Amino acid sequence: MFSFQLLSTLSSVALLVSAAPAFPGHAFPAFPKKGACKCDTSAANMNLPANQTQLVTPTTAPLYVALGVGIQNYTCSSTTLKYTSTGAVASLFDISCLDKTPAFKTVSNAAFTAWSTSKGSANTIGSKVGAANLLGFHYFVPAASGTGISPKWDFTSTGKNAGKADAFVIGAKTGGISAPAPANPSVDVDWLGLKNATGTLASKIYRVDTVNGQPPSSCVAGSADITVKYTAKYFLY
């Protein structure tokens, strides 16, 4: 289960709303359902690097193309003196209507520029970079096995899926694949592909075009947990 320290950290960066489902007693605010993006995603392209084989584009069209704006969470290992991941929290915006525009290629970078200087919530960044409605949230929940945590994409409270209890997907670590970010792997978090473990929102989830999110290369034993801002594109199939 999440620690109180992590809860306090999320609150301090105005992202508690994104973590709310993991903490009973905290509720999502009411987001407007207007302005939902209705663009065709059949030709949306992940533009994977040609020199890698780990990630393969599915043959079907994506169901959702989203911009993720949020934080990666880390704790310092006292044995390795390296930071290890304790999950992430992000708001997810619809960018399907940007797919056929020049802005689509650089939207992760543009969003990170806005996010890196913002003192407010990630929920305000999408409109600044041409993204449409808030699709939902990405966060981590206790793994079904009882050990560790699993990533969840939750669209149950926003947009056209608001009120649909099954509009979520939890990614499975089994079958998960990753590839170092091609541009700057020491700074940008890995590109990922995960399979569905639970939920009906999607059967496959990809995180690509990541910007930032990696922790410092080392830490001092006893260091406090840290958060690192990041942005990424998420393709849900």
User: Per residue in 77-131, pLDDT tens?
Assistant: 999 999 999 999 999 999 999 998 999 999 999 999 999 999 888 988 998 999 9
22-42 average pLDDT score: 47
Asked, for residue 47, whether it belongs to a domain, the answer is: no
Does pTM top 0.95 for this prediction?
A: no
Mind listing the pLDDT tens digit for each residue in 167-215? 999 999 767 788 899 999 999 999 999 999 999 999 999 999 999 999 9
- The 10 Å Cβ neighbour count of residue 29 is 10
H or E element: which one contains 111?
helix 103-116
Q: Across the chain, what does the average pLDDT equal?
A: 84
pLDDT for 177 equals 84
Asked, for residue 35, whether it belongs to a domain, the answer is: no
pLDDT for 50 equals 79
Query: What is the percent of the chain with per-residue pLDDT over 90, rounded to a whole number?
Result: 65
Mind listing the pLDDT tens digit for each residue in 35-84? 455 688 988 889 888 777 888 889 999 999 999 999 999 999 999 999 99
pLDDT for 95 equals 95
Q: Which two tokens stand for residue 218?
A: 């080392």
Q: Which domain holds residue 159?
A: 4-18+60-236
Asked, for residue 131, whether it belongs to a domain, the answer is: yes
H or E element: which one contains 4?
helix 4-12
Domain count, the chain: 1
Nearest Cα to Cα of residue 210 among 182, 170, 173, 171: 182
* Residues 198, 217 contacting (CB under 8 angstroms): no
Asked, for residue 27, whether it belongs to a domain, the answer is: no
